[in-house]
Structure 1
Amino acid sequence: MNALNDKSSSAIVAVSDIDRARRFYSDILGLELNDEGMEGALVYKTGATYLVVYPSEFAGTNEANAVVWDCGPDIDAIVADLGAKGVTFERYEMEGVSYKDGVHDANGFKMVWFKDPDGNILHLNSA
């Protein structure tokens, strides 16, 4: 039996407008397009994994995190860059967590949430 624990995985995000998504994921987030094809899907390489963006009538209906990036100590610089490009950050109230300039801070563990143009929730953390 093959176990999934030694298999690669990818994040997949549904969007309603693939051209608008390409501009957001390529230009705003700065991801490099690795491949495109299968029914208009865009494939971005992000670290050791892939992010697949594909057209769907169900785009933006997920109310939970769609993708998370572990940014380590670069998180503040990444957030500043995204903010300069017009990204609006979400603010969530959580006990014991402070919030400043788009960043939630839980005793040094930093978390950031923002949405793509379809409302998919994207998450950054300092892990």
Structure 2
Amino acid sequence: MLKDKTSTAIVAVSDIARATAFYRDVLGLEITDDSMGEVVVFRTGDTSLVVYRSEFAGTNKANAVVWDVGDEIDTIVADLAAKGVTFEHYDGIELQGDIHVAGKMKMVWFKDPDGNILHLNNM
């Protein structure tokens, strides 16, 4: 039924202007539609990320969005750190700088201004 359909990630934020600046200027996503008032659509790879204003922003305590960044993970992490992004550190996984390492897999987690958890890996 849905296996051949495209899905879109959606993230709730409390301040659409602040979130737009973060997702556009810090993460480098391109706005594809900002005509809906308190909803902004960004292009990310071949998919979209919808950011919308909600009173429930930041209440999700699990990953909101994950990006597979492949071999670029070290470069992207360094670029985000230079832009002021602070990375989460979790127990139970080897930590090399800000990057968690499990065998060949590298992972980082960070939060947007509302506390939504964003995740990068090299899968």
- Which bracket does the TM-score occupy, shorter chain normalised? over 0.9
Deviation, 1:39, is: 3.8
Q: How do 1:9-88 and structure 2 match up within 5 A?
A: 9-88=7-86
Unaligned runs of at least 5 residues, structure 2: none
Cα root mean square deviation, aligned: 0.8
Helix, strand or coil at the partner of 1:12: strand
CA distance in 1, matches of 2:5, 2:36: 22
Unaligned runs of at least 5 residues, structure 1: none
Aligned residue type for 2:63: N
The aligned length equals 123
1:117 aligns with 2:113: yes
Out of 94, 98, 104, the residue aligned to residue 100 of structure 2 is 104
Aligned residue type for 1:22: T
1:92 aligns with 2:84: no
CA distance in 2, matches of 1:102, 1:13: 24
Helix, strand or coil at the partner of 1:119: coil
Aligned residue type for 2:58: G
Aligned residue type for 1:43: V
Seq. identity, %: 64
TM-score under structure 1 length normalisation: 0.94
CA distance in 1, matches of 2:41, 2:86: 24
Higher helix share: 1
Deviation, 1:109, is: 0.2
TM-score under structure 2 length normalisation: 0.97
CA distance in 1, matches of 2:35, 2:68: 27
TM superposition outliers: structure 1 runs of 4+ over 3 Å: none
CA distance in 2, matches of 1:67, 1:79: 16
Helix, strand or coil at the partner of 1:24: helix
Q: Deviations over 1:55-76 (max 9, x none)?
A: 0000000000000000000000
